[in-house]
C-alpha cells in the first residue's frame, strides 16, 4: 500500500486501511483499562499512518465496554489531528434518530469533517427493554429511524417526524453544512436492501467470508440500481481480523489461545426470547476467523489483505487488532501490520 495505507481496489478505486476497536474487557483487567487501551490504540493508529479508527458500541456485555461510540469518537477526535474516526456502529434500535443526527453534525463540525457515522439495526437483546424502545423498534423500526436520520443530515432547514417518530416540524440546529459520511452495518439481506435503497455504503462484518460478502455486495448493486443509485461510486467497508507474527503457525496459535477469552463475552448478550447468544463453539469459530482473515506471517497477511481489497466496491478495510488482549502485543501489531503488511513488499 502507498502512503496513508491506500491500495487499488477491484475497480481501480483506492482502498483505505483503518482500525476497528472493540474496547473488549479481559479477565484480570478492568473496564477502565479496556477503554484506556482502546484510546491508546487509536492514537497509535494515527502515528502509524492508518486512515481511520472505528469504534464499536455495545451495552451490558464485556465483549465491548463502550456504550456510546459517538462519545468515544468525540474524545479521540479531540486527541488527534489527521485521522478519521467512525462509529461501527451506533445502534438505531435504542437511539432516537434525531439525537444521533444532532451528535453526528456536532462531531463533523468540531472535527473539521473527520467524523464518520456508522449505524446498525442491533440485535434482539435486552437493550431495547432497558431503554424502553421495545422489540418492535428492533424488528420493524430500522427503516423509519434511518429515514429521519437522513432527512436531518440532508441540510434541510426544518424536519418533521414520521408515523413511528411523530413530532411537529422543528429547526435543524446545528444545520449541517456538508454531507456527514454515513454507513449501514449489514449482515442480513433486509438491511442490505434498506441501505441500497438510500444509496448508503455497507459495513460488512467479521463473520462473513469473501464469497458471502460478494453476494451481499451483488445484491446491493441490484437494489441500488433499481432505485437510481450508481453503486460503483459507493465506498463500502469490510471488517477483518488482523494479527501478524514471524510465521503463520505463531500467529494462528496466538489468536487461537487468546481470542476465545474475548469472544466469550458475546455469550453475555441477553436475548429477549431467552435463547442462547454467541457462537455455539467458540474455538471452532476462532479457527474459522484465522482461516478467513489476515492472520499469519507478513506474506500471508499481504495476500489476505489484497483479496479483501479486491471485493467489488469496498473502499475501506477495518482491521480488528485486539485478538490477544495484551496491550503491548496489540500496539506491536498496529505498527507491524502497518510497516510489514500494508507497506510491505
What's the pLDDT score for residue 66?
98
Asked if residue 40 lies in contact with residue 327, where contact means CB atoms within 8 angstroms, the answer is yes
What pLDDT sits at residue 132?
A: 97
Instruction: Give the model's pLDDT for residue 8.
Output: 52
DSSP 301: H
Query: Mean pLDDT per 10-residue run, the chain (345 residues)?
Result: 50 84 94 98 98 98 98 98 98 98 98 98 97 96 98 98 98 96 97 98 97 98 98 97 98 98 96 94 97 98 98 98 97 98 85
Any residues with CB less than 8 A from the CB of 194 and at least 6 apart, and which?
A: 142, 143, 146, 184
Query: Among 108, 89, 75, 117, which residue's Cα sits nearest to residue 21?
Result: 89
- What 8-state DSSP symbol labels residue 176? P
CA distance 61 to 67: 10
- Return the pLDDT at 344: 82
Vertex 122: Cα angle to 31 and 38 (nearest 5): 30
Q: Which residues pair with 20 in a beta bridge?
A: 54
Query: In the CATH scheme, what architecture does the domain 6-342 have?
Result: Alpha-Beta Barrel (3.20)
Tell me the sheet residues that pair with 149: none
Q: Where along the chain do its domains lie?
A: 6-342
Euclidean distance between CA atoms 149 and 128, whole angstroms: 19
Q: How many angstroms separate the first and last alpha carbons of the chain?
A: 9
Amino acid at each position: 500500500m502507498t502512503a496513508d495505507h491506500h491500495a487499488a481496489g477491484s475497480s481501480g478505486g483506492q482502498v483505505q486501511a483503518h482500525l476497528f476497536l472493540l474496547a473488549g474487557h479481559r479477565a484480570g483487567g478492568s473496564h477502565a483499562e479496556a477503554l484506556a487501551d482502546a484510546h491508546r490504540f487509536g492514537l497509535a493508529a494515527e502515528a502509524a499512518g492508518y486512515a481511520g479508527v472505528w469504534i464499536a458500541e455495545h451495552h451490558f456485555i464485556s465483549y465491548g465496554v463502550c456504550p456510546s461510540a459517538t462519545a468515544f469518537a468525540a474524545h479521540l477526535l479531540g486527541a488527534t489531528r489527521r485521522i478519521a474516526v467512525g462509529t461501527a456502529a451506533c445502534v438505531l434500535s435504542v437511539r432516537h434518530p434525531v439525537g444521533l443526527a444532532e451528535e453526528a453534525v456536532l462531531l463533523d463540525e468540531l472535527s473539521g469533517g473527520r467524523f464518520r457515522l456508522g449505524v446498525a439495526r442491533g440485535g434482539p437483546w435486552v437493550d431495547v427493554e432497558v431503554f424502553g424502545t421495545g422489540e418492535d423498534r428492533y424488528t420493524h423500526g430500522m427503516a423509519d429511524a434511518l429515514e429521519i436520520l437522513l432527512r436531518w443530515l440532508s441540510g434541510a432547514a426544518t424536519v418533521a417526524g414520521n408515523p413511528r417518530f411523530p413530532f411537529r416540524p422543528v429547526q435543524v440546529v446545528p444545520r449541517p453544512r456538508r454531507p456527514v459520511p454515513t454507513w449501514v452495518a449489514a449482515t442480513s439481506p433486509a438491511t442490505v436492501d434498506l441501505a441500497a435503497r438510500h444509496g448508503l455504503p455497507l459495513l460488512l462484518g467479521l463473520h462473513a467470508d469473501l464469497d458471502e460478502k460478494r453476494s451481499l455486495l451483488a445484491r446491493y448493486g441490484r437494489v441500488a440500481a433499481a432505485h437510481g443509485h450508481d453503486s460503483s461510486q459507493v465506498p463500502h467497508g469490510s471488517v477483518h481480523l488482523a494479527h501478524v507474527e514471524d510465521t503463520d503457525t505463531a500467529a494462528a496459535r496466538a489468536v487461537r489461545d487468546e481470542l476465545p477469552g474475548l469472544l466469550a463475552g458475546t455469550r453475555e448478550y441477553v436475548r429477549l426470547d431467552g435463547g442462547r447468544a454467541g457462537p455455539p463453539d467458540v474455538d471452532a469459530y476462532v479457527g474459522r476467523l484465522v482461516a478467513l482473515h489476515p492472520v499469519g506471517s507478513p506474506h500471508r497477511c499481504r495476500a489476505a489483505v489484497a483479496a479483501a481489497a479486491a471485493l467489488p466496491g469496498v473502499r475501506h478495510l477495518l482491521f480488528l487488532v485486539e485478538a490477544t488482549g495484551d496491550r503491548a502485543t496489540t500496539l506491536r501489531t498496529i505498527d507491524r501490520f502497518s510497516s510489514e503488511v500494508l507497506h510491505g513488499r
